[in-house]
Amino acid sequence: MAKKSFYSTRFRNIGLVTVFAVYFLILVGGIVRSTGSGMGCPDWPKCFGSWVPPTDVSQLPEDYLEVYKQKRIEKNEKLAASLDQLGFEQMAASIFSHPSQYIETEFNATKTWIEYVNRLVGVLIGIFIFLTVVYAVPYLKRDKAVFYLALGSFVLVGVQGWLGSIVVSTNLLPITVTVHMALALVLVAMLQYAVARAQKDDFDSHFVYSPKINGLLWLLGLITFGQILLGTQVREEIDIVASVLGDANREQWVEELGINFYIHRSFSILVLALHLYVAFLLYGLKDRAITKMTHFMLAIVALEIVLGIGLTYFAIPPVLQPLHLTFAALLFGLQFQLLIVYHYASREAIKKSVVVHR
């Protein structure tokens, strides 16, 4: 029994560290985007052909802009050819039709190192998830799903690394950035579920299971997931507007945004109403753990609204952009955790009810 507890505790600890590390990476990624550092390193996995980035433009060849643009184009030609063979002709064509494809970003030491730190954090997460897989091996005999969730997370990190290289080679092609963000959220959900499933015997409650609440929790998570991806597309529009108007005209950026921004902003009213209704139902369960998480959920929703207002009416301050994204990701993670806790706690309640009636 002690041995089982040791393995369980070790897996839970590394799993939680990894989950929070992924959230930290999302924050760092948001900083990369808000500072315009996404192309701080024009190649991948190295940065300007080196494992340690340069600190001054004098360390680069005079024609570095043309050199790295050509390298990206060559890589994209191979990617487009592969996509075309797989039947994704439209996606292959979009890679070269996007205006950013032939634009190379001039060297900026600060932006280069911001992007480099982002990559280092990604490598660190890869190490954490590898350890998560190693510590999940004992679950092959107890609950294979836990191990395969951990293994799937490790594979997904590899896919994320590859996709990150595509994001760079395509010069931040919108669809690649959106998919990159979506997979990060899926990664968080897989890790959270793996950790929770490994601890499922620890859940306890006395409330009655409600398909309505379960369905609403799923709906909340899906809506938040959609809002985050829509917000990512709004972020893409901001980048385009910024390149046209320049940083000195930030107060004009919101006026130039398209329909995605107005859908994202208006839909937040419905999202708020749904959160309040679900919170009302969750408070009625009178479960300590669920009540505490509901408090945090409402607090994050309120904070997200404040950040959204700040972005809209204060010329999209760079400091608010990564915070808005990170708290949105945390909200999604918290909703998914609520769903997991509700599922396992209600299942235990049903078991107890069956035993009592017998």
Residue carrying the six token digits 């982002």:
118
Angle, CA 154 vertex, CA 153 and CA 158 arms, to 5°: 110
Q: What is the pLDDT of residue 182?
A: 92
Residue 210 clears pLDDT 90, i.e. is over it: no
Q: What is the pLDDT of residue 96?
A: 64
Residue 338 clears pLDDT 80, i.e. is over it: yes
In the chain, DSSP assigns E strands to: none
Q: Percent of the chain at pLDDT above 70?
A: 90
Of residues 175 and 194, more confidently modeled: 194
Residue 1 clears pLDDT 50, i.e. is over it: no
Which of the given ranges, 42-51, 110-119, 160-169, 196-205, has the highest pLDDT on average?
A: 110-119
Mean pLDDT of the region 21-40: 87
Nearest-angstrom CA–CA distance, 56 and 7 = 48
Nearest-angstrom CA–CA distance, 133 and 177 = 27
- Burial, 264: exposed, middle or buried (Cβ in 10 Å; 0-12, 13-18, 19+)? buried
Nearest-angstrom CA–CA distance, 242 and 177 = 17
Which of the given ranges, 87-101, 246-260, 338-352, has the highest pLDDT on average?
A: 246-260
Q: Percent of the chain at pLDDT above 90?
A: 43
Q: What is the mean pLDDT of the chain?
A: 85
Q: What is the pLDDT of residue 61?
A: 87
Which residues does 98 contact at the CB level (< 8 Å), separation at least 6?
170, 171, 173, 174
The band of 229, judged by pLDDT with boundaries at 50, 70 and 90, is very high
Mean pLDDT of the region 335-344: 91
Nearest-angstrom CA–CA distance, 218 and 230 = 18
Mean pLDDT of the region 241-270: 84
Residue 276 clears pLDDT 60, i.e. is over it: yes
Residue 2 clears pLDDT 60, i.e. is over it: no
**What's at 301, amino acid-wise?**
V
Q: What is the pLDDT of residue 40?
A: 86
Nearest-angstrom CA–CA distance, 122 and 128 = 10
The band of 239, judged by pLDDT with boundaries at 50, 70 and 90, is confident
Residue 13 clears pLDDT 80, i.e. is over it: yes
- Name the token pair of 210: 């409600």
The band of 208, judged by pLDDT with boundaries at 50, 70 and 90, is confident
In 69-154, DSSP assigns E strands to: none
pTM of the model: 0.86
Nearest to 234, CA basis, from 332, 329, 114, 321: 321
Which of the given ranges, 223-232, 244-253, 254-263, has the highest pLDDT on average?
A: 223-232
Nearest to 312, CA basis, from 263, 253, 226, 231: 253
Helical pair 144-169 and 109-136, crossing angle rounded to 10 deg: 160
Nearest-angstrom CA–CA distance, 37 and 41 = 8
Of residues 250 and 126, more confidently modeled: 126
Residue 333 clears pLDDT 80, i.e. is over it: yes
Inter-residue contact 197 to 338 (CB < 8 Å): no
Of residues 91 and 226, more confidently modeled: 226
Task: Count CA atoms closer than 13 A to 157's CA, side-chain side.
Answer: 27
Nearest-angstrom CA–CA distance, 72 and 43 = 7
Inter-residue contact 308 to 268 (CB < 8 Å): yes
Inter-residue contact 122 to 25 (CB < 8 Å): yes
pLDDT tens-digit readout, 47-92: 888 899 999 999 988 888 888 888 877 777 787 788 778 777 777 7
Q: What is the pLDDT of residue 184?
A: 92
Nearest-angstrom CA–CA distance, 346 and 321 = 38
Q: What is the pLDDT of residue 82?
A: 80
Of residues 209 and 25, more confidently modeled: 25
Lowest average pLDDT, out of 58-62, 160-164, 173-177, goes to: 173-177
Q: What is the pLDDT of residue 257?
A: 87
Mean pLDDT of the region 127-137: 94
Residue 316 clears pLDDT 70, i.e. is over it: yes
The band of 154, judged by pLDDT with boundaries at 50, 70 and 90, is very high
Q: What is the pLDDT of residue 140?
A: 92
Beta-bridge partner residues of 50: 47
Q: What is the pLDDT of residue 150?
A: 95
